[in-house]
Chain A
Amino acid sequence: GAVVSQHPSRVICKSGTSVKIECRSLDFQATTMFWYRQFPKQSLMLMATSNEGSKATYEQGVEKDKFLINHASLTLSTLTVTSAHPEDSSFYICSARLTEGLAGGPYEQYFGPGTRLTVT
């Protein structure tokens, strides 16, 4: 259980266009989802916390008007990169949080497979 999918897995877009990335929890409901960005050979950096039915909470330095997040249902969150530029090229990863972890921990985040965005 606890499978998270992302679509697309890979996208190439032209500078100035917008790209939407979907994150779905396939076999559970997730009131909270997270969006991360990962540059090559670096760690994951949290961009924002997405809560179903409410506005996302963005980390310091992340432009909320550029990275639009919508969490309209308990199984779907979307990240739209607006007016993308080459510096937005990165690996975008979402995760969904379980209230009670499958392994017995207080909670766990299950990660999607990531979306490789390349802006030309």
Chain B
Amino acid sequence: GESVGLHLPTLSVQEGDNSIINCAYSNSASDYFIWYKQESGKGPQFIIDIRSNMDKRQGQRVTVLLNKTVKHLSLQIAATQPGDSAVYFCAAPPGNKLTFGGGTRVLVKP
């Protein structure tokens, strides 16, 4: 069946270091991927998206990489800050809906 999943459930990172969060997907027909950030007790917040005709997209301190060959995408956060502590989800829309991965918790150590 269709699934979007993550490799690591928890990532501890030193403040100032870079973070890399990974995600695998199973549906090779997926043509659009999104990363969301969810802080405790809040709804998900859009971070960045990427279309399948791209392999890299950069935002402010974030970069998403897409490897369609191995059906893998990653989110890189540069110079991780305490405010980056949250759960990060990748998501892919099968048509009109979103399928979410299991989530990775990022803990930023001071």
Of B11-19, B36-44, B67-75, B76-84, the one with at least 4 CB within 8 A of chain A: B36-44
Q: A105-B49, A114-B43 are in contact. Are A34 and B97 (CB under 8 A)?
A: yes
Count how many chain B residues have C-beta atoms less than 8 Å from C-beta atoms of the other chain: 22
Q: Is A111 an interface residue (CB 8 A)?
A: yes
B51 touches A108 (CB 8 A): no
Residue of A nearest to B103 (CB): A43
A108 touches B46 (CB 8 A): yes
Which of A34, A103, A112 contacts B46, CB < 8 Å?
Answer: A103
- Please give, as numbers and ranges, the residues of chain B lying within 8 Å of A107 by CB-CB distance: 93
How many Å lie between the Cα of A112 and that of B41 in the bound state? 11
Residue of A nearest to B105 (CB): A41
A106 touches B51 (CB 8 A): yes
Q: Is B65 an interface residue (CB 8 A)?
A: no
Q: A43-B89, A43-B102 are in contact. Are A105 and B43 (CB under 8 A)?
A: no
Interface residues in A49-104 (C-beta closer than 8 Å to B) = 49, 91, 93, 95, 97, 101, 103
Q: A49-B96, A110-B46 are in contact. Are A43 and B101 (CB under 8 A)?
A: yes
A113 touches B42 (CB 8 A): yes
How many Å lie between the Cα of A116 and that of B32 in the bound state? 30
